[in-house]
Amino acid sequence: MKILTLVGARPQFIKEAVVGEALRAKGFDHVLVHTGQHYDLNMSKVFFDKLKIKEPDFNLSVGSGSHAEQTGNTMIKFEKVVYETNPDIIIVYGDTNSTLAGALVSAKLKIPLAHVEAGLRQEPKDMPEEINRVVTDRLSQFRFCPTKIAVNNLKNEGISEGVWFTGDVMYDLYKKLECHFDYSIINELSLKKEEYVVCTIHRDFNTDNKKRLTSILKQLQMLSQEKEIVFPIHPRTAKRIEEFDMSDILNSFTVIEPIDYLKMMALVKNSWKVITDSGGLQKESYFAGKKVIVVMPDTSWSELIDAGAAKLTEPEHIYESISTNEKDYIQNEIYGNGKAAKKIADILERTYDNLDS
Ligand code: UD1
């Protein structure tokens, strides 16, 4: 069986690191396509190098652009690769514009589509990632859900065929690489264990709204009087801060370029708490046993709120939220048992022959 996987952005490289390995362990013919949505060295290549992901067979070099440009250009280029390689199944991950483009091409060419990280839902419904998820789930034949809540979300939308609870492949990777996290960054930045906060902000919902971004930065500045703030900065966030003429505030933080997975996990593991709007980092904070302040009105990982690990916070309440002392939470297997990728490969192998195509 020939499986084509489409990746394009950081969180997808992380997922591919374990899923790709599980597919090849089955002996599937595996074609990897990189859309080029993320292209900077530290947004893309470092992940391939550090996580030992196979070199993509095709790079579409799509780059940045408006949503239509990015999605449309990916579709045009990806369709050609699909014709050329003629896969039996196409796999897409998550909720990016690369995911949506891959899903649309698969559906139009009638190639069975597998969505890893299916069934996640959150407000606001007009957020690009939410649009991408809903459409991709509709078009998929294999919907691999990381949580039971995701399975239920699909059921509530009338989708119960082709749905599997697999657990979360990001948990697989965390468990696999935990003993290789790169703690050199702690010394490089002269950080003291559990005395700093890791912060990432990249969603356009926060970065492109001047009022929200200003409020986030002001709250972080207030917090920086008490705790060191380590801020690996996404290129979009850096651009907006400059455009909004707020670069001075950055002097209050330890601002660094985006960093690779092994360093990022080491940073989180030794931190006091985490502040983020990233879905992936919310879970990684939980894996590391850290509390996380989520600067969004909602999360697609609501089990983290129920567990007491994450707290949704509006920008103007960040300082208050993080300063409130709460009980520790108990970690349990809400994201599966670290074998999600193998489960996905098993299901694809077992089920493919029974698909009506
Ligand atoms: C995308 C995904 C988001 C995911 C995130 C992970 C969509 C709609 N969003 O958001 O779900 O959480 O990736 O990071 O697909 N840029 C660079 N260099 C790069 C990549 C981006 O400078 O290598 C800058 C460009 O100015 C670009 C902007 O960042 O316009 C935004 O990048 P884009 O890929 O459109 O979306 P992300 O915010 O990264």
Amino acid identity at 213: L
Supply the pLDDT for residue 66: 98
Prediction pTM value: 0.95
Q: Model confidence at 327, in pLDDT bands (50, 70, 90)?
A: confident
Judge contact between 115 and 144, C-beta under 8 A.
Answer: yes
Categorize the per-residue pLDDT at 328 as very low, low, confident or very high, splitting at 50, 70 and 90: confident
| pLDDT tens, residue by residue, 254-300 | 999 999 999 999 999 999 999 999 999 999 999 999 999 999 999 99
Return the structure tokens found at 173. Answer: 């990777």
How many beta carbons lie within 10 A of that of residue 226, not counting itself?
A: 12
> Is the pLDDT confidence value at 338 over 80?
yes
3-state SS assignment for residue 284? helix
More confident residue, 94 or 355: 94
pLDDT 10s digits, 182-198: 999 999 999 999 999 99
Ligand 1 pocket mutation pick from 47, 96, 205, 239 by most atoms within 8 angstroms of CB: 96
* CA 11 to centroid of ligand 1, rounded, Å: 11
Catalytic residue among 180, 202, 234, 317: 202
Which ligand 1 atom lies nearest to the CA of residue 70?
35
Which pLDDT tens digit goes with each residue over 81-126? 999 999 999 999 999 999 999 999 999 999 999 999 999 999 999 9
Average pLDDT, the chain: 96
Residue with CA closest to ligand 1 atom 4: 96
For residues 89 and 266, the answer to whether their CB atoms sit within 8 Å is no
Q: Given this model, what pLDDT does residue 216 score?
A: 98
Do residues 210 and 244 make contact, with C-beta atoms less than 8 angstroms apart? yes
Ligand 1 centroid to Cα of residue 52, in Å, is 22
Residues 53-89: tens digit of each pLDDT = 999 999 999 999 999 999 999 999 999 999 999 999 9
- Report yes or no: 95 and 117 within 8 Å, Cβ to Cβ: yes
- The token pair at 113 is 């589509």
Go through the chain and tell me how many residues it has: 357
Strand pairing category for 2-7 and 291-294: unpaired
Atom of ligand 1 nearest to the CA of 239: 26
Neighbours of 323 (CB within 10 A): 12
What per-residue confidence (pLDDT) applies to 332?
85
- Respond yes or no: is residue 202 known to be catalytic: yes
- Which residues lie below 8 Å from residue 104, measured CB to CB, with a gap of 6+? 71, 75, 135, 139
Pocket of ligand 1 from Cβ distances under 6 Å: 9-11, 37-40, 43, 64, 95-97, 128-129, 202, 235-236, 239
For residue 43, which atom of ligand 1 is closest to its CA?
23
Residue 84 alpha carbon to ligand 1 centre in Å: 28
Higher pLDDT, 333 or 155: 155
Q: Atom 35 (ligand 1): residue with closest C-alpha?
A: 64
CA 179 / ligand 1 centre spacing (Å): 29
Confidence of residue 356 (pLDDT cuts 50, 70, 90): low
| Mutation test residue for ligand 1: of 234, 278, 294, the one with most atoms within 8 Å of CB | 234
* pLDDT confidence band for 355 (50 / 70 / 90): low
Rg of the chain, C-alpha, whole Å: 20
Q: How far apart are CA 39 and CA 62, in angstroms?
A: 9
Mean pLDDT value across residues 327-351:
93
